A = this chain, B = another copy of it.
């Protein structure tokens, strides 16, 4: 199939390469002409502008936009729509907020342009392992693009079949799904990331308890110097907590289990936040997901106004002066 790709960063470039490797034809554009040249050398056809990109694609066209969520994606999609035609498809493969998808689809519908949102998981490993994709789209448009998703997805691989599964559609087992109408793809991906935060924080807290078990403040008999790299490793085998994140943890700890190279100021992206907004909107109690997010917020601050106000109150009622950190 033929596909236009806009945005040749780590994600966009690898997606293009994986598709070309499976025989698809790519027309590529990026503001950074070096990125375009690099991909051209790998077999893509390069474009110098959105107009040229569109001109080089056969109708009905499909263009995959792979840019940072927000301003960049919004502007590009709107500019792209101006040079596209009825029945063309714009795919947002980035991390847009799903309500923005719904709004954009509504706008583009006036020009009869189709909009598709693809939540993509796989990160830097995707080129090799394939991308796990959740797609929001009209059913017919999803079907039209099916060959692309099929090529990008990991496929069955060596993963064991789920016992008791009898779904007629095996796409999920091959690594992608039609999640629902426009917005559903990014919504599912958003929750995916919210869960990811929770899982990560669960491991992090547990390893912290084990790390601090060597504290001299504890009774000597109850003080353990635990080998955290070995523990992560052993849990990879036959334990209930085995996971890909645990594999990564084992890998990180195998190098330096003190993790002194990390400042611990943990970034968060839109999806973690939107997950909590969704939970609040829907009235779903999500203490674990919310606290995982809050732990990241806190990790980036030296102290908070809240902390200082606690100290001020303690001084007020008890004359307590906190010790320096």
With contacts A240-B123, A311-B266, A322-B266 taken as known, whether A177 is within 8 angstroms of B230 at the C-beta atoms is yes
Tell me the bound Cα distance from A106 to B164 in angstroms: 49
Q: B residues within 8 A CB of A229?
A: 165, 167, 172
7 examples of A-B residue contacts, CB within 8 angstroms = A102-B222, A106-B221, A188-B226, A201-B202, A204-B313, A248-B312, A284-B297
Instruction: Known pairs A124-B318, A207-B306; list 13 more (Cβ under 8 Å).
Output: A132-B238, A163-B254, A171-B230, A172-B231, A195-B202, A198-B203, A207-B305, A218-B281, A262-B307, A263-B311, A263-B324, A265-B324, A276-B276
User: Could you tell me if A230 and B123 are in contact, using CB atoms closer than 8 angstroms?
Assistant: no
User: Could you tell me if A237 and B174 are in contact, using CB atoms closer than 8 angstroms?
Assistant: yes
User: Could you tell me if B198 and A206 are in contact, using CB atoms closer than 8 angstroms?
Assistant: yes
Q: B residues within 8 A CB of A268?
A: 283
> Of the 9-residue stretches A23-31, A65-73, A84-92, A154-162, which lies at the interface with chain B?
A154-162
Tell me the bound Cα distance from A309 to B155 in angstroms: 27
A296 CB, min distance to chain B CBs, angstroms: 7
The digit string for A290-307, where 1 denotes a CB below 8 A from any CB of B, is 111111111111111111
Choice from B175, B181, B209, B307 contacting A299 with Cβ under 8 Å: B307
Tell me the bound Cα distance from A194 to B306 in angstroms: 14
A134 within 8 A of B: yes
A74 within 8 A of B: no
A34 within 8 A of B: no
Q: B residues within 8 A CB of A157?
A: 237
Interface size class, chain A: 35 or more
With contacts A244-B242, A282-B212, A313-B245 taken as known, whether A231 is within 8 angstroms of B179 at the C-beta atoms is yes
A31 CB, min distance to chain B CBs, angstroms: 22
Choice from B176, B265, B307 contacting A323 with Cβ under 8 Å: B265
Q: Which of A133, A171, A244 gathers the greatest number of chain B CB atoms within 10 Å? A: A244
Q: B residues within 8 A CB of A286?
A: 205, 208-209, 294
In the complex formed, the residue of B with least CB distance to A318 is B123
Q: B residues within 8 A CB of A301?
A: 325
